[in-house]
Homo-oligomer: A and B are copies of this chain.
Amino acid sequence: MPRMSAADRREALVRAALRVVARRGLAQATTRAIVAEAGMSLASFHYAFDSRDELVDALIEHVVGAEGAALLVDELPGTDVGDVVRLGLRRYLDHLRGDPDAEQAMLELTQHALRDPERHDVARRQYQRYHDLAEASLDAAAARAGVRWRRPVRDIAGLLVAMTDGITMTWLVTRDDAAAEAAIDLLAETIGREAVPATVSDATPDATESPDAAERPDPADSDPDPGATT
């Protein structure tokens, strides 16, 4: 085995751990299973990490940084905003179908994080990032289509994020492609109906267009740079 830097070793172990969690679940992701997957010895593990908990933490941080980009992307051909949402969610469904174990691993890691007060914040930041991403995508789609949203974009983004989780969970259980597609189409159609033609006064770039948008302060908006993931 060639020498690796401690950082490389940590990275390799995290990647191996993710594969093991995806394949057999977090509970079965023992240090032995992980080092076997990584082709290392047990001692190398404890050279790179102090404990298994520390690796799990690193694993959570890793997936938080990496997975955000798959949710919704801006380069969708969008004339109709409903279509943009539909294509974005369909793309996510394709991703889910292509690698269901990976998404289940994400869910398991998130739920694991919820059990610890300190890790809970990591999960919160992850969801905040999802939300910001969805919001930015919705804004961009609306701008290109020349429409504006009839209600706070934040609310629509929240529905999108929740829906993504819901589809993930139900599809993982039922494996019903058609049902997931039907739900996506229905939701996309709905969100499309929330868009109305933009007037000139709406063109102000950063004005919140709804009067009650300020009534509800964002409980967690401490992330000023939602674009820099990884």
Quickly give the copy total for this chain: 2
A115 within 8 A of B: yes
Which A residues from 82 to 115 make CB contacts under 8 A with B?
A: 104, 107-108, 110-112, 114-115
A156 within 8 A of B: yes
**CA–CA, A160 and B162, complex, Å:** 12
The SS class assigned to the A binding surface is helix
Would A169 and B173 be within 8 Å (CB), given that A104-B111, A107-B111, A111-B111 are in contact?
no
Which A residues from 151 to 172 make CB contacts under 8 A with B?
A: 151-152, 154-156, 158-159, 161-167, 169-170, 172
Residue from B124, B158, B167 within 8 A of A162 (CB atoms): B167
Residue from B158, B175, B186 within 8 A of A170 (CB atoms): B158
**CA–CA, A104 and B176, complex, Å:** 23
A186 x B27 contact (CB < 8 A): no
Closest residue on chain B to residue A115 by CB atoms: B25
Q: Which residues of B contact A128 (CB under 8 A)?
A: 174
B173 x A186 contact (CB < 8 A): no
Q: Known pairs A127-B173, A156-B186, A162-B167. 6 more at Cβ < 8 A?
A: A107-B107, A128-B174, A162-B169, A165-B165, A165-B166, A178-B219
